[in-house]
């Protein structure tokens, strides 16, 4: 059995080496090179300049907003699914949109929010002036939150589903009303699910670039947009690699913070 386990882990190790370890090593290498390929610390001096620090702050700000919006929507939704008799149906409705390609969903929102889109056509039907919704930070926040809602709901729902029903019944038998049971029992026991939802929402939201281009135009510039520009437009691979390394380190920092908090919550 041990020999079989060693054989089965080989594909995973190869995947880790070729698609994670080697790319990260290449990023570190190129981050210490300038435009001409010479060794330099210039990229790190630039990435900690006021320009890039502001961009980092904007990325954190919008990622936090997206996470907060999805959490506000997802927690009650997860609780509703947990208490519903048709859990499988609601989960299916929740999961089906994740099967659709992200680019297709983004273009669908362009058709909804554009000047000639469905919302403005409805407003014109009501003799209300058209609204400029596309290429705004609000549109970016709306679309990004919609995309990440399933990833926030599922871990919260799983943590709620893991709560034994007899524990909730015991709370009721001891005289606690539904609100007290929710606040004293359900919320503490779903803290780990919330932390997981924050991880899988906040971290990817830091590096969004396709939605920022198609939905927000140039109104939202974040780290992902900057990396795309450095690699594909300016072709400054050293600077793009440096920004990517900073992003990876910050993501690891967020993972450590959220993991430590969830661990403390269990203790």
In a domain, 11, yes or no: no
Give the pLDDT score at 27: 94
In a domain, 152, yes or no: yes
In a domain, 1, yes or no: no
- CB atoms inside a 10 Å sphere around CB 1: 5
In a domain, 7, yes or no: no
Which token pair is 73? 């929507």
- Alpha-carbon torsion, ordered 246, 250, 255, 256, to 10 deg: 110
Distances in Å between the Cα of 108 and the Cα atoms of 117, 144, 178, 267 are 10, 13, 40, 45
- The answer to whether the CB of 198 falls within 8 A of the CB of 167 is no
Give long-range contacts, CB 8 A cutoff, 24+ apart: 78-84.
78/153, 78/156, 78/157, 78/160, 78/193, 79/160, 79/182, 79/186, 81/153, 81/157, 82/157, 82/160, 82/161
Domain extent at residue 103:
49-258
In a domain, 2, yes or no: no
In a domain, 33, yes or no: no
Residue 178, class by beta-carbon neighbours within 10 Å (0-12 exposed, 13-18 middle, 19+ buried)?
Answer: exposed
pLDDT in tens, the chain (267 residues): 677 777 888 899 999 999 999 999 999 999 999 888 889 999 999 999 998 999 999 999 999 999 999 999 999 999 999 989 899 999 999 889 889 888 899 999 998 998 888 888 888 888 888 888 888 999 999 999 999 999 999 999 999 999 988 888 888 888 888 888 888 889 999 999 999 999 999 999 988 888 888 898 877 888 888 898 899 888 899 999 999 999 999 988 888 887 744 444 443
Q: How many domains does the chain have?
A: 1
CATH number of 175's domain: 1.10.3720.10
């Amino acid at each position: 059995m041990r020999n079989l386990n060693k054989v089965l882990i080989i594909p995973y190790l190869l995947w880790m080496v070729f698609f994670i370890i080697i790319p990260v090593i290449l990023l570190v290498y190129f981050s210490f090179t300038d435009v001409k390929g010479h060794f330099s610390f210039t990229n790190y001096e630039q990435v900690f300049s006021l320009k890039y620090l502001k961009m980092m702050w904007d990325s954190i700000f919008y990622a936090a907003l997206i996470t907060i919006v999805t959490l506000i929507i997802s927690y009650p939704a997860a609780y509703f699914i947990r208490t519903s008799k048709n859990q499988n149906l609601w989960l299916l409705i929740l999961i089906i949109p994740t099967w659709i390609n992200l680019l297709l969903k983004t273009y669908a929102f362009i058709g909804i929010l554009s000047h000639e889109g469905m919302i403005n056509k409805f407003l014109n039907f009501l003799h209300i002036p058209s609204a400029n919704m596309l290429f705004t930070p609000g549109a970016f926040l709306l679309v990004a939150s919609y995309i990440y809602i399933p990833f926030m709901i599922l871990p919260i729902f799983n943590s709620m589903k893991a709560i034994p029903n007899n524990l909730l019944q015991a709370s009721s038998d001891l005289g606690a009303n539904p609100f007290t049971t929710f606040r004293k029992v359900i919320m503490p026991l779903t803290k780990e699910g919330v932390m997981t939802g924050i991880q899988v929402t906040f971290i990817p939201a830091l590096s969004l670039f396709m939605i920022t281009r198609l939905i927000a135009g140039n109104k939202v510039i974040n780290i992902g947009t900057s990396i795309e520009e450095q690699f594909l437009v300016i072709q400054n691979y050293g600077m793009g690699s440096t920004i990517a390394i900073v992003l990876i380190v910050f993501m690891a920092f967020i993972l450590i913070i959220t993991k430590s908090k969830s661990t403390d919550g269990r203790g």
